[in-house]
Chain A
Amino acid sequence: AQKITQTQPGMFVQEKEAVTLDCTYDTSDPSYGLFWYKQPSSGEMIFLIYQGSYDQQNATEGRYSLNFQKARKSANLVISASQLGDSAMYFCAMSFPLSGNTPLVFGKGTRLSVIA
């Protein structure tokens, strides 16, 4: 079965520090995509970053980078230079484009609180 696990229900980080949000996954499908979404207190879901299973390099988008370790089946999100506005829920999600029948599966999320 395909499964996404986020083991940290909540995290605290000091402003301007870097923080890593953990995500592990379980699949036997060789082709998959990994996504991170941010959900601030206003409720909307905001796409942050994407990593394909065959991508050779780790994805980066501004202050966001994805630490992709395929053998360990982990796709941790790294946020550098944290800002107060980064306080939000963060969801890891996975897709299986070749399976044909399963769109994004989401983890339970991690609540990040940035402290001034």
Chain B
Amino acid sequence: DAGVIQSPRHEVTEMGQEVTLRCKPISGHDYLFWYRQTMMRGLELLIYFNNNVPIDDSGMPEDRFSAKMPNASFSTLKIQPSEPRDSAVYFCASSFSQGYEKLFFGSGTQLSVL
């Protein structure tokens, strides 16, 4: 299995631009999570899906952030418009079930908004 695949690995953009981060979970996993990691706040859960349905998006910082999961093998996290404070590493993770199963993380996307 290829593991959780995220793209791009690095993204540098200018303030105000739209940014789209992509994730392909492990086949068969029914939970998908988006986390953001910064030095100040550590790892924060942004949103998670179960069977492609968003379950909890209370961690999404603002309306500028949106996430979709159109099918079991693909998810996107979009920031529009981006701001410098959005600079962080964004991780996608997937699991078979919530709670008892370990998360499998992607390699992350390092986002820099100038």
Contacts and interface: CB of A to CB of B under 8 A. Distances in A.
B89 A43 contact: yes
Contacts of B93: 45
B45 A104 contact: yes
A90 to B, nearest CB: 12
A87 interface: no
Interface string A58-97: 0000000000000000000000000000000001000111
B108 A44 contact: yes
Contacts of B43: 91, 106
Contacts of A97: 97-100
Number of contact residues on A: which range applies?
A: 20 to 34
A109 B98 CA distance: 22
A33 B91 contact: no
A44 B42 CA distance: 14
Nearest to A31: B99
A107 B91 CA distance: 16
Given A103-B31, A106-B43, A108-B42, A43 B107 contact: yes
Interface string A22-34: 0000000000110
Interface of A: 32-33, 35, 37, 43-47, 50, 52, 91, 95-98, 101-109
Closest 8 CB pairs of A and B: A97-B99, A45-B105, A106-B43, A95-B99, A47-B102, A108-B42, A97-B100, A44-B107
